[in-house]
Chains A and B, each alone.
Chain A
Amino acid sequence: MLERITILCFAASYGVALLLEAMQLLLGRSEWRRLAALLAGAAGLFAHTVYVVYHGLPMQGGPSSLLFVSWVLAIFYLVGTLHHPRLAWGVFVLPVVLVLVVAAKLIIASEPTIPPTPENLWFWAWLHAVLLILGSVGLSVGFVASVMFLVQAWKLKHKTPPGEGIQLLSLERLEVMNRRAITWAFPLFTAGLVIGLALLLNQEDFTLTDPKVIVTGLFWAVFALLLYLRYGLHIQGRRMALGTMIAFGIMLLAYVVQYIWPSAHPSGGGP
């Protein structure tokens, strides 16, 4: 029974929830649509949870990491929607969830053979994966907060009357959400990458020109620059939001790069 739950099941549920949330914006708010969206989202999360538990994620390779990150974001969607019923939470979180799920599905279709991790290094490989996944969740939350921030900032710059259009949290709250998310994510990423680098150095075919290593290094540099801009140069607001979005894009690229270019990386937990 449980094996019959596929990625398509929860992707479809999230899709329906997103459609209903979008209708809330286009056709005006209605309580039944809100409840229907919540039900669809909850059904998707249930199926997603069963899938995650049944397949023993997130330790089964790159696609499973994306599915695990999207699972955490789906929880973030449901909790946020229940907590802020008047805000257009789902319109921002669900597309990210869907993109991650679809990316995972595409990767699974072209998954390279995963070389087994030597038994004595298993713990470090596990820690490497977990740290990167947690960092990815943080950056994904930062990305969602940044998109919301830019929409809210646009609304205010264009003097949209309060109460009209998409309802969002205040700029200050969104900025804090983004700042906290990336501040937590960076050390987790850094620790995960250091462990990953140490593991790679043990591999005989490892080279610094490996595309996975290059993109991950670039991602880390962009992320570090982002934090320097925030805390060193006190850059805030729009520029910070754009920086987070760029970092998120590179993170996604780091996830999928080994499926585009051949890599010596054993398709672990994340970038």
Chain B
Amino acid sequence: MMLIVVGANFRTAPMELRETLAFPGGKLSRALSELSARYGTETVILDTCNRVEIYLARLTGEALPDADLLAEFLGEFHGLPAAKVRPALYAHRGAEAVQHLFRVVSSLDSLVLGEGQIAGQVKDAYEKAQQAGTVGPVLHALFQHARIVGKRVRSETGIAQGKASVSSLAVDYLKQVFDHFGDKTVLVIGAGKMGELTLKHLKALRPGRILVTNRSPDKAREVAALCNGVPVPFEHLDQCLVSADVILSTTGAPEPIVTLERFQRLVPQRQGRPVAIIDIAVPRDFDPRLIHLDVVDLLINIDDLQAIREHVLRNRVKHVPAVEAIIQAEQERFLKDWSRRRAAPAIAKLYEQWESIRKEVQEECFRKLNGKLTAEDLAIIEGAFRLMQNKLLHAPLSVLREQGHEEGSGLLEAIYKLFRLRD
């Protein structure tokens, strides 16, 4: 199998370069077609915000283009000097390339260890290449196997355990407080960047009502429009604090906007209804002593969420050896399977050739002995011929099955030549 992966990721290339090397929209299918046509290869491009990787493969034939040639292609395609691209590229060939893809799909090569998106992105890359008609038997087998590796790693190890994003962690906390959100009111205070993603996650919970308040009415309207919320004047914050079940606060206020005294005054109006507060503002918007109030079931701030995120990531690191072991085993399995698959036509041809020789010799023998042997004698002789054929073939076929995949061994080619299988 001839296989190479050449790419740049967050470790080798800065964000600006990765952005330039990306293949948004129609660029991807154009690049896939151009690469396939130029080098006569199967091609898949994996393009995510943290990496751009080109997988090229061919069953047999000339050597595949190397990183220098692909740097030229990338430079040409994106209008950059190849010299600027080349230092950011890494390359892996053959078994190493297989291992690299398995590491990528297992998220061992991700910015956030154990993140779940990469498996879908790898699948997506494969499907887009398939639509562009640039996938052949090698990359088909490789990417199908990568899918299996990704599933095994996630189901058999704890690499993906826990949430590693601040916004999804916040939502997980909320789900421990409330069972359903259709009858809940979410109050969003402020319009900080940090809050946008969390608000997106909150919106996915389909709350009954979203109230948005901000010192700037324009900003409140802007955020409210994004989440189908209702903008509320900042002066009405107290009423909102009374009616809210979930509060997301992201202002840039220099001091807490909701003090213990202010909230305590409002508690009787809440009639015992509990509230969950996600305060991701820096500095904090809510007095931390609010957690001691009976109605406050949850008060979590950005530091708490970051600390949990780090804790989750530290835990995930413990599962890396188990993931590595799966990758190693799957890499070996893939290469063996591939070797068997690749050697299969040669084995079939060799067997066919020997079978036809055996039949030819056997028939000649039977013809000469015509009438002198019983049916039983003929069966014994035929069995002996078959046994001899199988014993002679056993060693070469076993070696072909086991070692046929080894690059550079030339074993398969030698078998084709020695036995004139191509004739």
Query: Which residue of B176, B180, B274, B295 is within 8 Å of A162 (Cβ)?
Result: B176
| A172–B177 touching, CB < 8 Å | yes
Contact check, B312 vs A172: say whether CB atoms are below 8 A apart.
Answer: no
For A163, give its contact among B172, B180, B274 (CB under 8 Å): B172
Whether, in the assembled complex, B291 has its beta carbon less than 8 Å from a beta carbon of chain A, the answer is yes
Central interface residue in B169, B294, B304, by most chain A CB within 10 Å = B294
In-complex Cβ contact of B297 among A163, A169, A237 (8 A): A237
Q: Given the complex of chains A and B, what is the CA–CA distance between A159 and B308 in angstroms?
A: 9
Q: Give the number of A-B contacts (CB < 8 Å).
A: 64
Q: Which B residue sits closest to A230, measured CB to CB?
A: B272
Q: Does A83 contact B (CB under 8 A)?
A: no
Total interface residues in chain A, CB < 8 Å: 23
Residues of B within 8 A of A238 (CB): 294
Asked if A235 and B272 sit within 8 Å, CB to CB, the answer is yes
Are B179 and A153 in touch, CB under 8 angstroms? no
Contact check, B176 vs A161: say whether CB atoms are below 8 A apart: no
Mask of B135-174 contacts with A, CB within 8 angstroms, 1/0: 0000000000000000000000000011100000100110
The residue of chain B having its C-beta at the shortest distance from the C-beta of A152 within the complex is B176
B295-A237 in contact (CB<8A):
yes
A84 interfacial contact with B, CB 8 Å: no
Give the residues from 235 to 284 in chain B that come closer than 8 angstroms, CB to CB, to chain A: 271-274
Q: How far is the CB of B278 from chain A (nearest CB, A)?
A: 12
Q: Tell me, yes or no, whether A171 is within 8 Å of chain B by CB.
A: yes
**Highest count of chain A CB atoms <10 Å: which of B172, B176, B179, B312:** B176
Query: Contact check: which of B179, B272, B311 meets A169 at CB < 8 Å?
Result: B179
Given contacts A237-B274, A237-B295, contact A173 B312 (CB under 8 A): no
Complex partner residue of B173 from A156, A168, A173, A233, CB under 8 angstroms:
A156
Tell me how far the C-beta of B295 lies from the nearest C-beta in chain A, rounded to whole angstroms: 7
Cβ of B298 under 8 Å from chain A:
yes
24 contacts between A and B (CB under 8 A): A155-B176, A156-B176, A159-B300, A159-B304, A161-B162, A161-B308, A161-B311, A162-B163, A162-B169, A162-B173, A163-B161, A163-B172, A169-B179, A170-B176, A170-B178, A171-B177, A171-B297, A172-B180, A233-B272, A234-B272, A236-B274, A237-B272, A237-B294, A238-B294
Q: Name B residues whose Cβ lies closer than 8 Å to a Cβ of A.
A: 161-163, 169, 172-173, 175-180, 271-274, 291, 294-295, 297-298, 300, 304, 308, 311-312
Q: 6 other contacts beyond A152-B176, A172-B274, A239-B294, with CB at 8 A cut-off?
A: A157-B291, A168-B176, A170-B175, A171-B274, A237-B272, A237-B297
